[in-house]
């Protein structure tokens, strides 16, 4: 896989930072006394609604594969407008600002600004919009109460119904429904990845200008505007010989290999995203280059990646799913005549 694709890896395979959408509230009594499938779907929607419609700010820490990272996060709701500010606290300085679907990523050390239009990404502290479909592959139940970042939280378990996906343990703030922590669990219940707020303030008035201001002041930066173009998988000449149980195609785009350069068509890759309603698997397709591409499998926390050659093409499959699931996608991915 071209290293330039790495910025896209984590965007579709896990619960990270971002926005969700929501619907009706659910009474807490149903969580304690047992849920019907409809109740459980409403509960997942409640988490989505809190992530989208609540203002909050705090510090989030993520641990995966022995690597720990942290970031400062602010999410602001003003009417129908949503604003976000994210500052990475480890490694190379990086700041990200979002106003609805417009996302600006600043790299101060290299003076590069990446400005792009993105659909809302389903990430921590939200859940995917296909929460009802997720219940076809996961069993949801309440397992008690806990305390996270000073807030009382209901602890929920999403247990996979087969071996093609990982379990999820969720901590949701009791009053608002905001997701405070999520653990991705291996087949023996071991924690593969964990994301959690270590300090958090929910509500209050946050100034939208703390996001809009930096988005307007780009003097001295080289501004790059990578374009992701929607397309159809069949029109690109690719497809699955058969479906992978529980997963459906939810997005297909052609995007630059390196979002920090304005590459032409020869510098683009196809990305197909499949979801089971809770997690995602991305399949990237680019032209094979023997100088850069070597078959490889990697594991980082819950993220499994498989890279292999398919004729004149280089295929990268990545997701927060077991390697056996990644291998299934690889075995059924094919060039259409």
The per-residue pLDDT of the chain, averaged, comes to 84
pLDDT digits (tens, 9 = 90+) for 287-300: 999 999 999 999 99
DSSP 14-71: S--S----------THHHHH---HHHHHHHHHHHHHHHHH--EEEEEEEEETTEEEEE
Token match 């680019």: residue?
A: 286
Per the CB < 8 A criterion, the answer to whether 304 and 298 are in contact is yes
Model confidence at 192: pLDDT above 50: yes
Cα distance between residue 160 and residue 234, in whole Å = 30
Per the CB < 8 A criterion, the answer to whether 157 and 140 are in contact is yes
Structure tokens at 4: 């330039």
* Residue 52 vs residues 23, 33, 40, 48, 174: alpha-carbon distances, Å: 11, 28, 19, 6, 16
Side-chain half-sphere CA neighbours of 185 within 13 A: 16
DSSP 82-146: EEEEEEE-SSS--EEEEETTEEEEEETTTTEEEEEE-PPP--TT---S-HHHHTTTEEEEEEEEE
Spatial CB neighbours of 10, under 8 Å, sequence gap ≥ 6: 16, 303
Query: Which pLDDT band holds residue 130 (cuts at 50, 70, 90)?
Result: low
**What value does the mean pLDDT take over residues 177-206?**
94
Other C-beta atoms closer than 10 Å to the C-beta of 108 total 13
Cα distance between residue 23 and residue 26, in whole Å = 10
Per the CB < 8 A criterion, the answer to whether 334 and 178 are in contact is no
Give pLDDT, residue 193. 96
Spatial CB neighbours of 23, under 8 Å, sequence gap ≥ 6: 42, 45, 48, 49
Model confidence at 2: pLDDT above 90: no
Domain boundaries, the chain: 3-216, 226-335
Higher pLDDT, 9 or 182: 182
pLDDT digits (tens, 9 = 90+) for 277-288: 889 999 999 999
H or E segment to which residue 321 belongs: none
Model confidence at 214: pLDDT above 50: yes
Give pLDDT, residue 151. 96
Cα distance between residue 284 and residue 87, in whole Å = 28
Give pLDDT, residue 131. 65
Give pLDDT, residue 44. 79
In eight-state DSSP terms, residue 217 is: -
Query: Which pLDDT band holds residue 315 (cuts at 50, 70, 90)?
Result: very high
Q: Determine if the peptide bond prior to 125 is cis (ω within 30°).
A: yes
Give percent helix, percent strand, percent coil of the chain, each to the nearest 5: 15, 45, 40
**CATH for 226-335, among 3.30.70.20, 3.40.50.720, 3.40.50.850, 3.30.200.100?**
3.30.200.100
Domains 3-216 and 226-335 share a fold: no
Architecture of the CATH domain 3-216:
Clam (2.50)
**What value does the mean pLDDT take over residues 200-204?**
92
pTM of the model: 0.84
Could you tell me which of 61, 87, 80 has the C-alpha nearest to residue 19?
80
Q: 6-20, 28-42, 120-134, 246-260: which has the minimum mean pLDDT? A: 6-20
Cα distance between residue 55 and residue 76, in whole Å = 5
pLDDT digits (tens, 9 = 90+) for 52-80: 889 999 999 999 988 999 999 999 998 88
């Amino acid at each position: 896989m071209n290293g330039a694709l790495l910025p896209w890896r984590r965007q579709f395979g896990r619960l990270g930072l971002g926005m969700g959408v929501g619907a009706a509230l659910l009474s807490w009594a149903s969580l304690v006394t047992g849920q019907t499938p409809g109740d459980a779907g409403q509960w997942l929607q409640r988490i989505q609604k809190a992530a989208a419609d609540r203002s909050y700010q705090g510090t989030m820490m993520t641990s995966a594969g022995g690597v720990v990272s942290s970031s400062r996060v602010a999410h602001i709701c003003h009417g129908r407008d949503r604003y976000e500010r994210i500052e990475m606290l480890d490694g190379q300085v990086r700041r990200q600002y979002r106003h609805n679907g417009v996302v600006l990523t600043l790299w101060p050390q290299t003076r590069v600004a990446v400005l792009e239009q993105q659909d809302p990404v389903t990430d921590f502290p939200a859940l995917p919009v296909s929460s009802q479909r997720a219940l076809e592959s996961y069993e949801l139940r309440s397992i008690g109460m806990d305390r996270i970042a000073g807030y009382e939280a209901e602890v929920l378990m999403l247990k996979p119904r087969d071996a093609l996906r990982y379990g999820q343990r969720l901590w949701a703030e009791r009053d608002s429904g905001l997701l405070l922590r999520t653990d991705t669990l291996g087949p023996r219940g071991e924690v593969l990845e964990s994301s959690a707020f270590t300090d958090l303030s929910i509500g209050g008035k946050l100034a939208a200008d703390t996001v809009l201001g930096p988005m307007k002041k780009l003097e001295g930066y080289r501004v790059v505007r990578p374009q992701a173009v929607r397309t159809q998988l069949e029109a690109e000449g690719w497809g699955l010989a058969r479906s992978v149980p529980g997963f459906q195609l939810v997005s297909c785009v052609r995007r630059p290999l390196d979002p920090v350069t304005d590459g032409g068509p020869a510098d683009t890759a196809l990305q197909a995203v499949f979801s089971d309603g809770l997690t995602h698997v991305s399949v990237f397709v680019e032209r094979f280059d023997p100088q850069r591409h070597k078959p490889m499998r990697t594991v980082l926390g819950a993220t499994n990646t498989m890279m292999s050659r398919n004729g004149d093409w280089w295929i990268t499959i990545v997701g927060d799913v077991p390697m056996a699931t990644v291998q299934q996608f690889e075995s059924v991915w094919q060039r259409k005549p």
